[in-house]
Amino acid sequence: MKPVILIPTYKESIAIVELLKSLSDLHKTRDFDVVILDDNSPDKTADIVDTLQYSWVSVLRRSHKSGLGAAYRAGFAHVLPMQRYSQVVTMDADGSHRVQDLPAMLDANIAPIAITLGTRWMPGGSVVNWPKSRQLLSKSGTRYARFALGIPLNDLTGGFRVYSAELLNKLNLADMTATGYCFQIEMAMASELAGAMMVEVPITFVERINGVSKMSRAIVIEALWQTTLWGLARRLRPNADKLHYVK
């Protein structure tokens, strides 16, 4: 049993080459697989990954772009039935999640049902090349989600995470529909409802150099609205929420 890293891509032909090169250095000392979740990138991201011919990297080709949450759920559905992975990592393709932070995250939590979160907003964590406005938006989003959902985590919208396979198998992943930031918040909420041990590890988040950010105003509004609905539901019918998310 070893970890598998899921990396969603859409028009990441430049960044993904650099990321896989960094991961190949780590692969010399740690065994893991990588699955690229490509949403039919017009820049041939998937084909470029194939030409690299890393034996431990495969590509799951999806027909169209349908959001971050949909890509990760497809990845979960792809790797979990294989029953060969103990941990499932979610990681951005654009280089914002540093490979050097990954070993500490993989080693931080050995509970059977567990989630480890790479956290920017805690002692030891930091953000590089983000304007103050973007930092404020991220911090405010997490503070609001913490208040609305009552989950005492410092970075609910961060996407650099390690899930135990046992936790993911315990969740009703097919019933989840959130995308963007909402996906990260929903997964944290579902993990808490499943009784997962939740550990935060400080990371350094680096703003992308190549390509274009997928962040948009619509994603922010969706996250605010959906988190409000989840918060109300948790207060009004907490048992129903657990039945919805946990098998």
CATH code assigned at 19:
3.90.550.10
pLDDT value at residue 214: 53
56-69 pLDDT per residue, tens: 999 999 998 888 99
d(CA 120, CA 199): 13
Strand partners, 116: 162, 199
Supply the pLDDT for residue 226.
84
Joined tokens for residue 117: 């979160």
- Report the domain count for the chain: 1
Q: Is the model's pLDDT at 87 over the cut of 80? A: yes
User: What is the C-alpha radius of gyration for the chain, rounded to an integer number of angstroms?
Assistant: 17
Domain range holding 76? 2-245
pLDDT above 80 for 180: no
Tens digit of pLDDT for each residue in 16-40? 999 999 999 999 999 999 999 999 9
The Cα 147–Cα 99 span in angstroms is 31
Q: Which residues contact 29 (CB under 8 A, 6 or more apart)?
A: none
Q: How confident is the model at residue 177 (pLDDT cuts 50, 70, 90)?
A: confident
User: What is residue 242's predicted lDDT score, i.e. its pLDDT?
Assistant: 75
Q: Which of 76, 67, 79 is nearest to 183 (CA)?
A: 67
What is the C-alpha to C-alpha distance for residues 128 and 153, in angstroms, rounded to an integer? 21
Q: Give how far Cα 181 sits from Cα of 33, 42, 149, 172, Å.
A: 25, 24, 15, 19
**Total length of the chain:** 247
